[in-house]
A = this chain, B = another copy of it.
């Protein structure tokens, strides 16, 4: 069985493990105040052209999302997100458990748009009962989205402008950011993210690390006391250097983007195989996630040799599923999958 069900099936890239091995018996202070974390912070600030950004390392995505959102909002405020956004669907209500409502907006191919945000805020403000309704105060996006699609520089700029005009914070979840940065169609750089958002993160877990997310906070108000919040929400790793070390390894020599490119190119091969067979996709394939639409007999056939995820029922005879490639996916695995797709009966 070859797994394409997600991008956290394997451990870490060899260079990540090597650096952890090499430094294993060094003594450093804990909780992210060591020299490796500092080095990673400097590398990230440089890569983001954001010398004044605060950079913090947390262990996983749900933890990061809830910590950032709870740090930013007052109790009566909520966060706008696509209805398909990870915080709205797959975090067991972690945001609500910190007291805040996720205010969902309909998404197109996983994305929301500036006009929707403007309208949501305007509707709130013109409602006579506005004080009886959760106040929108932050926008949460994922880049790439949960459907593997990308916000363009123009789209992100419009959203950023709307947020600044309206007094909302903008937070971008980059759990799979390597695959976005490396995508052919991408025109949003790390520096753009730093400039256009109040806070975003570079995902490590799905992009070559054992675990870890690097939060980049540009907004000075949100920088304040952020380490208390990490500790309170259980995200402050005792041996914090493990996070710093992994990001040092990933950022050295452009490894992070290189790993993203590897996943994207393999996904493009699978996409091509699907297209050849006339198999349509739930969303265009631009990063490392693909959402082909198959018949049940086709799925049964593929399930003999491959693991993938159920996604959604499209019609009486068709289902969309999700295939994911990653930094660790081999060409052999993809070749086998493409061969199997090409061999499917219509």
- The residue that A17 contacts in the complex, of B20, B131, B309, with Cβ under 8 A, is B20
In the complex, the answer to whether A135 meets B225 with C-beta atoms within 8 Å is yes
In the complex, the answer to whether B60 meets A70 with C-beta atoms within 8 Å is no
Whether A134 contacts B96 in the complex (CB less than 8 A), given A75-B71, A232-B76, comes out as: yes
Residues of B within 8 A of A249 (CB): none
Bound complex: CA A262 to CA B134 (Å): 35
In the complex, the answer to whether B97 meets A93 with C-beta atoms within 8 Å is no
In the complex, the answer to whether A239 meets B90 with C-beta atoms within 8 Å is no
Interface string of A22-43 (1 = CB under 8 A from B): 0111111111000000000000
Residue from A11, A60, A93, A235 whose CB has the most chain B CB atoms within 10 Å? A93
In the complex, the answer to whether A233 meets B99 with C-beta atoms within 8 Å is no
- The residue that A91 contacts in the complex, of B3, B61, B89, B231, with Cβ under 8 A, is B231
Whether A132 contacts B91 in the complex (CB less than 8 A), given A59-B237, A211-B239, A228-B76, comes out as: yes
Interface residues on A, range: 35 or more
Interface string of A199-233 (1 = CB under 8 A from B): 00000011000110000000000000101110111
Bound complex: CA A71 to CA B64 (Å): 21
A-B contact pairs, 16 of them (CB 8 A): A5-B29, A9-B28, A9-B30, A11-B239, A14-B24, A25-B328, A59-B234, A60-B234, A63-B235, A76-B93, A91-B231, A92-B133, A93-B134, A96-B99, A97-B233, A128-B309
Residues of A within 8 A of B (CB): 2-3, 5-6, 8-12, 14, 17, 20-21, 23-31, 59-64, 66-67, 70-71, 74-76, 78, 89-94, 96-102, 128-129, 131-135, 205-206, 210-211, 225, 227-229, 231-239, 242, 309-310, 328
